[in-house]
Structure 1
Amino acid sequence: MSADAETRTYKRPTLVVVHADGAPPSEVAVPLATWADCVFVVPADDYTRKITPVLAAFGEVLEVDTVENTAERLRAYAPDGIVTYCEQMQRLTAHLAELLKLPYHSRDMAELLTDKWRQRAALRAAGVDSVRTALIHSEQEWAAAAAHVGFPAVLKPVHGVASGNTFYVPDEAAGLSRLREVLALDRPGLIADGGLVLEEFLRGRPCQPFGDYVSVELAVFDGELIDIGVTGKLPMAAPFRETGRFWPSPFNKAENEEFLALAHSAVRALGVQWGITHTELKLTPEGPRLIEVNGRLGGGIQDLALSAMGLDLVEYAARIALGDPTPPRRVPVHGVHYQVLPPAPQQACEVVAVEGVEAVRALAGVKTCRMYVKPGQHLEGGVATLELGRINGVAADHAAFAELVHQAWSLLRLRFRFEGEQTPRDVTAGALTSV
């Protein structure tokens, strides 16, 4: 066939991308629009209206009204696939996929993947997980929940993201106080009146200078699991804020295989058939334990995959949605590819100054050091993971990476004016983990 004939017969696939706050619009749109005709479906809120001009440069944009009306409008585009990269959009995407008869998580599967209570129950029933949990909707249910779970424990929303309103509770009195505080909120999680989960706290094993947890990245095509990688982590900031991630993990081959096996068991137990999964595991003295399974690409994993293996996971997830089973090309990982994430303070404050950025950029192994905050900016505080910036690069090995983190944490300094304090306070990036 001639080149002209190939051009005439090739049809770009039409891909529905359900998008919202949680994934940078350019990170999603740029890799897809070069080869697919994208229709971006967004909720009608202030954030998505701000990013609509960005998305509109790469495809059509539709605001959601009712699910049924949105599906009817989408039929006019004759879509070939549907995907989302946002936690809070999974159930909407599943409903649209059902109405449009496109491969994606079933609606029940999307519920399992976004409901921390139902997911634990399903994993426990399959014999994959044994973490004690209790569902709470009111203070009257606290005593029974506390007696069943015991302490220390973790209190979190049933539907949540980025550790928002997720607390470590050392004893019953502290837990009851936290419960009252969270129940008083209009929306503790992603869904109003979604409830809270009290669950057993998993004590980690010593893993310093790295974190005592990992995530396992898998692809699933029609039920077949494809390993992508095991992501190492830096130690969490209190209570459960992420501070960094890197490839490859610092653990040996046998341990990584154990992590992969547990993630496989969990994903199979839930019955996931399509897409990318991001499974978080706690490393305890008794072995790895499940934290949760997420039915979408994990935060920051796209950049790690591109840096470490030349692997575009945004595109891979879209190809799976379009029914393409071809595994993507990847290259071996050399060095330690990382993202270091200075966390926002838990106390409300105003940013007064940011210092040391150029010194961090000058460190061997640092590619970029970009701060997302600027002087005069107000930070709301809270326990959710919120990045003040991101340091990216490649270190020669894990020892060199650990030393680089130590240097960067010391060099990067921020000045805050905390609510209730007259004098601004200087805080190193390393000290942010306890502020």
Structure 2
Amino acid sequence: MPRRALILVEGASNGPLYVQAAHRLGLHPITLSADPAQYDYVAAEGAEAIRVDTTDLEALISECSRLRSTYDIAGITSAQEAFCATVGKLCQHFDLPGPNPASIKRCCDKFTQRQLLAAANVPVPAYHVAASATDVESAAAEIGLPVIVKPAVGIGSSGVRLCSTVEELAAHATYLLGGTRITQSPPKILIEEFAQGRYYNVDTMGHEVIGVGTAEFDCPPHFVFREVTFPAPLGKGEHERIADVSLSCLQALGLGWGPANIELRWTKRGPVVIEVNPRLGAGPQLIHLAYGIDLVTEHIKLATGGKCDLLKKRSHTAAWRYLLPDLDGTLDWIEGDTQAAAVPGIAEVKLNAQPKKPIIRKGDSQDCIGYVIAASPCPAHTAAILQRAVDLISWSVTPFATPGK
């Protein structure tokens, strides 16, 4: 009998979790990637990777067909949003469970997503799409400064900026519409009202809300996560309103198979949807620690024709602190991770940066040089554990030399 395999199209920050979960389920994970070397966890986890052009659907179909001569392909999925629509097409071709590729494609275009949500009376910020600097100025004038300016297609807060002045608006619009930014996305950007209020993120699986988390950001004008807590401290009424809006998003966008993550803010008019992502959120570890639900495993079960177990097994509070440098330069050293990991209640400590490597902040998720995750039955205790561990980690950055000095 051929070995059952799980095909993973590219990887991402959650890539190792998918490989580990596949192994636990008795599956052989095979990553298809344009550059397999970028995923160091593949070899570390004893998995397999194959080089293939993952932007070429026919090449992926050909490779999967070749693999079927050796393996029983149980499912195809991806941890990376940019490839979720491709996964949907592959699943349709091989008659495997998967998401609707048309729905995923509509969702990944933030302008189209906004249109569909607004048409369904889902509360969203005021917005306009722009393809030129003149369009940007007109849109901002109509909405009123400050505004959020971001690419219509993108992930990880890349290119997202709060613009408070006409000068900031012009500079960032030039950057996104051509300038110094290199992107495969069309030069189309969104200008949105800055919805002010507490930030929440909602994780769903199928048509079920799993839970609601909250997060704090680092310094504006960028939107880089500093700390995420799950679950968010919400009253019953607030939780129900957020859950209802989230389910309305799934219906409006034609989602409802597999995972999704909805970002919103609680404003003066209640919950306002910032973005819907047709994938798992950035930290499924928090849900696992808080509720005992492993969403990665449940997603793989779904992708391989099984049923999800979304029953909550405990009620803890988990928190994730990102380690963020406050200047650009060369990382001299970073230490304390071993001591931090030894603190009772710490679930994970990871350092992403290596000494003697340059640090160039871009105002997105790639700025993070490490993280710490804590969990306990008590919210206050979790916060104290997390801070104790973070205080044990330190680093030094030497600023880049200023020309002429």
Superposed pair shares fold, TM > 0.5: yes
Q: Does residue 193 of structure 2 align to residue 200 of structure 1?
A: yes
Between the aligned partners of 1:24 and 1:148, the Cα distance in structure 2 is 39
* Kept in 1: contact 2:36–2:50 (CA 8 A): no
* Kept in 2: contact 1:124–1:130 (CA 8 A): yes
Between the aligned partners of 1:409 and 1:109, the Cα distance in structure 2 is 40
After TM superposition, give the deviation of residue 168 of structure 1 in Å: 0.4
After TM superposition, give the deviation of residue 155 of structure 1 in Å: 0.8
* Kept in 2: contact 1:156–1:198 (CA 8 A): yes
- Aligned residue in 1 for 2:259: 276
AA aligned to 2:351 is M
After TM superposition, give the deviation of residue 49 of structure 1 in Å: 6.8
- Aligned residue in 1 for 2:146: 152
Q: Does residue 229 of structure 2 align to residue 246 of structure 1?
A: yes
3-state secondary structure, aligned to 1:79: strand
CA distances 1:10-37 after superposition (whole Å, capped 9, x unpaired): x8654322123x2254321111134354
Of 275, 278, 282 in structure 2, the residue corresponding to residue 295 of structure 1 is: 278
Between the aligned partners of 1:273 and 1:415, the Cα distance in structure 2 is 46
3-state secondary structure, aligned to 2:96: coil
Between the aligned partners of 2:264 and 2:289, the Cα distance in structure 1 is 23
- Aligned residue in 2 for 1:433: none
Please give the TM-score of this superposition, normalised by the length of structure 2. 0.87
Between the aligned partners of 2:347 and 2:136, the Cα distance in structure 1 is 49
Between the aligned partners of 1:361 and 1:51, the Cα distance in structure 2 is 20
Of 312, 316, 332 in structure 1, the residue corresponding to residue 298 of structure 2 is: 316
Identity %: 21
CA distances 1:110-133 after superposition (whole Å, capped 9, x unpaired): 212211111111101111134221
Pick closer, same or farther for the CA change 1:79–1:412 going to 2, 3 Å. Answer: closer
Query: What is the aligned-residue RMSD (CA, Å)?
Result: 2.8
AA aligned to 1:307 is L
CA distances 1:92-127 after superposition (whole Å, capped 9, x unpaired): 223323333333222321212211111111101111
After TM superposition, give the deviation of residue 311 of structure 1 in Å: 2.1
* Kept in 2: contact 1:217–1:230 (CA 8 A): yes
Pick closer, same or farther for the CA change 1:314–1:358 going to 2, 3 Å. Answer: closer
3-state secondary structure, aligned to 2:223: coil
Between 152-161 and 81-90, the greater mean CA deviation after superposition? 81-90
3-state secondary structure, aligned to 1:274: coil
- Aligned residue in 2 for 1:415: 396
Of 159, 165, 174 in structure 2, the residue corresponding to residue 165 of structure 1 is: 159
3-state secondary structure, aligned to 2:225: coil
Between the aligned partners of 1:133 and 1:47, the Cα distance in structure 2 is 40
After TM superposition, give the deviation of residue 277 of structure 1 in Å: 0.7
Of 10, 35, 39 in structure 2, the residue corresponding to residue 19 of structure 1 is: 10
3-state secondary structure, aligned to 2:195: coil
- Aligned residue in 2 for 1:174: 168
CA distances 1:348-387 after superposition (whole Å, capped 9, x unpaired): 3111233555664565543444332233121121101232
AA aligned to 1:171 is T
3-state secondary structure, aligned to 1:163: coil
Between the aligned partners of 2:215 and 2:191, the Cα distance in structure 1 is 24
- Aligned residue in 1 for 2:89: 95
Q: Unaligned regions of 5+ residues in structure 1, if any?
A: 1-7, 205-211, 423-435
Pick closer, same or farther for the CA change 1:154–1:391 going to 2, 3 Å. Answer: same
Q: Does residue 241 of structure 2 align to residue 234 of structure 1?
A: no
- Equivalent residues in 2 for 1:231-380 (5 A)? 231-238=213-220, 239-301=222-284, 303-334=285-316, 336-345=317-326, 347-355=327-335, 357=337, 360-361=340-341, 365-380=345-360
Q: How many residues align structurally?
A: 396
- Equivalent residues in 2 for 1:113-132 (5 A)? 113-132=107-126
Pick closer, same or farther for the CA change 1:197–1:409 going to 2, 3 Å. Answer: same
AA aligned to 1:174 is E
Between the aligned partners of 2:352 and 2:51, the Cα distance in structure 1 is 29
Between the aligned partners of 2:36 and 2:362, the Cα distance in structure 1 is 21
- Aligned residue in 1 for 2:58: 68
